[in-house]
Structure 1
Amino acid sequence: MKKVYRTTIAKDGTTGAKRIGVNWLSISEIYHAMVTMRWPKFFLMLLIPFFLLTFFFTLLNAITGFEHFHGLTSTQSIGKFWEIFLFNAQTLTTVGGAGITPVGFTNNVILTIESMFAMLGAAVITGLLYVRFSRPSSGIIYSEKALISPYRGGKALMFRIANKKKNEVVELHTALFTIINDLATNKRDAKILKVERDYLPFLAHSFTVVHPLTEESPLFNFDWSDNDKTQYEIGVWFNAIDRVTGQNVFSGHTYFMHDIIHGAKFTSCMEVDENGLFLIHLDKVGNYEMI
């Protein structure tokens, strides 16, 4: 049986809690969902109402009668239906009427209402696309595993990050923490973990975040075993500034208990070419070897 881990924050750094009682149909929630969802789902959420509206207006036109449209070329009812369907689809995209003209008061009222939907839809979609394209991203990637490695006569928890974008992120601030879940009592205990360097002027290449496991550390002599009594997560948040846009960027990541490797160290992911230029292999950021 696959073991289920209780997660406070998801693997990508977003909160992993499911909220009960939220009105998901509110304008603010719909807007947030449309801005943050993945591109394939975003386009799907645009196409579904588009085709539903097109089909709805086509049905209205069919009820009023296809004989009230000039420019139809098909002689069959099904052919006329699809011609009107394409007419409505082009109307909703503000392109035009495909050479078809409605005749009569009722059909022109329907077309007027449809045109209003078209204008509002175009404005909303344009705004959503602008927000999605203008949202800054940090471009920070993480090593797949976090390591417990020898460090200055003791041990340290460490993981590696790198900048995958061509532009730099500057003023990088780091917050590292752990959340320990007591499975017996359903209680959670959150503790801040001090890192060796919680500030970087810029991140151009790779960097290893180090939390020394000293006596002051909440993880000193911690039971790292994967057991049925406690589960833990190591979470990290980065706050930085995109050097190109000047906007704040955020990035988060979580290492679960099965992501911690003991007695290992990272191998080099950088080299210098013949011109003295640093080369970073992004596919090797998470590479490590056992000690």
Structure 2
Amino acid sequence: MKKTRRKIPKTRIVNRDGGSSVVRIGVSNNRWRDPYHLLLTLCWYKTLGLVSLSYVLANTLFALAYLAGGDGIENARPGNFFDAFFFSVQTMASIGYGAMYPKTTYTNILVTIESLLGLIGLAMASGLMFARFSLPQARVLFSDVAIITPYNSMPTLMLRVANERQNWILEAQVRMSLVRTEISKEGDVMRRFYDMSLLRSHSPLFALTWTIMHPIDESSPLYGVSAEEMVEDEMEVIVTFTGLDETVCQTIHARHSYIAKEIVWNMRFVDILSKTRDGRRSIDYSRFHDVMPIEN
């Protein structure tokens, strides 16, 4: 009797770059509940835009507060918003040109409050910018596709990684895992992770390129798996990279994932290593992602 495979519902958990794509129910998805983490993860132009908007908004509110107190700024035009706004800018930044200064008790109280908030805001903005600049960022390049090809007569899953910076990454380590959707005998659907052994998972000095290889032997979670089964079971190969950046002496991390359609069979990577006329090694990064059919 022919064995039929149980249909597995589409419940992909991890997207292409390894990030979460799960819809969370019953918990708040408001990122502003963790503003520090949000500000660290926003792109630079959004962060600068948010800081600039907060600065303008704060000075606008204080300008309106100054205007509400009447003619309390010396040498400012009574009721003029722009004079009050620029006086607020000078106060918050502790510039103190001396052309405009407070002349009433109400205005002096506002100046005192704004000066204190300005010091706090400056410290927070400086700390945020320093944290973003000092945050170690890995510039590790992963190949767009992974390949399954024979290596020493053994089917092997391969992918490329490269260091895009012109420095050394010390004690580089790579881990590879297979995640797939499975159904238990009780009918429970779950995503299972399987460790994948590598021919070499550690490099004491990583500066150029590295071909990561997983032999598909009897102990491999990919043993006997076809391309169709990889698609049906929503298999995904997740790769994590860690190492010590010698320039900043900090640990860096990188990750990437390959879904079934990004794993090509019976292909090999194009050779990108060569030598120049003076005998130096040369790497052609323009062909880093290229693959070609296996020659029979």
TM-score by length of 2: 0.84
Q: Which of the residues 41, 48, 54 maps onto 1:43?
A: 48
What residue is the counterpart of 1:193 in the other structure?
Answer: 196
Describe the superposition over 1:216-235 as per-residue Cα deviations: whole angstroms up to 9, x where unpaired.
10011224328885212110
Describe the superposition over 1:169-209 as per-residue Cα deviations: whole angstroms up to 9, x where unpaired.
01011110011124885411110011110111111111110
Deviation of 1:96 (Å):
3.8
TM-score by length of 1: 0.86
- The 10-residue stretch of structure 1 (258-267 or 155-164) with the greater mean CA deviation from structure 2: 258-267
Unmatched 5+ residue regions in structure 2?
Answer: 1-9
Matched, 1:130 2:126: no
2:180, 2:192 within 8 Å by CA — same for their partners in 1? Answer: yes
What residue is the counterpart of 1:231 in the other structure?
Answer: 234
3-state SS of paired residue (1:231): coil
Q: In the aligned structure 1, how far is the partner of 2:281 from the partner of 2:100?
A: 63
Q: In the aligned structure 2, how far is the partner of 1:219 from the partner of 1:246?
A: 37
What residue is the counterpart of 2:114 in the other structure?
Answer: 114
Q: In the aligned structure 2, how far is the partner of 1:17 from the partner of 1:97?
A: 54
What residue is the counterpart of 1:278 in the other structure?
Answer: 281
3-state SS of paired residue (1:215): coil
What residue is the counterpart of 2:263 in the other structure?
Answer: 260
Moved over 6 A (4+): none
- The 10-residue stretch of structure 1 (267-276 or 87-96) with the greater mean CA deviation from structure 2: 87-96
Q: Which of the residues 191, 207, 219 maps onto 1:204?
A: 207
Deviation of 1:43 (Å):
1.2
3-state SS of paired residue (1:99): coil
Q: Which of the residues 221, 224, 228 maps onto 1:221?
A: 224
- In the TM superposition, 1:158-177 aligns within 5 A as 158-177=158-177
Unmatched 5+ residue regions in structure 1?
Answer: none
Q: In the aligned structure 2, how far is the partner of 1:98 from the partner of 1:161?
A: 59
1:87, 1:98 within 8 Å by CA — same for their partners in 2? Answer: no
Calculate percent identity across the aligned residue pairs: 24
Deviation of 1:107 (Å):
1.2
What residue is the counterpart of 1:95 in the other structure?
Answer: 95
Coordinate RMSD, CA, aligned: 2.7
Matched, 1:72 2:76: yes
2:148, 2:155 within 8 Å by CA — same for their partners in 1? Answer: yes
2:230, 2:260 within 8 Å by CA — same for their partners in 1? Answer: no
2:231, 2:261 within 8 Å by CA — same for their partners in 1? Answer: no
CA separation of 1:109 and 1:239: change in aligned 2, threshold 3 A: same
Deviation of 1:138 (Å):
2.5
Deviation of 1:15 (Å):
4.4
What residue is the counterpart of 2:3 in the other structure?
Answer: none
Q: In the aligned structure 1, how far is the partner of 2:11 from the partner of 2:277?
A: 49
User: Number of residues paired by the alignment?
Assistant: 281
2:31, 2:38 within 8 Å by CA — same for their partners in 1? Answer: no
Deviation of 1:276 (Å):
2.2
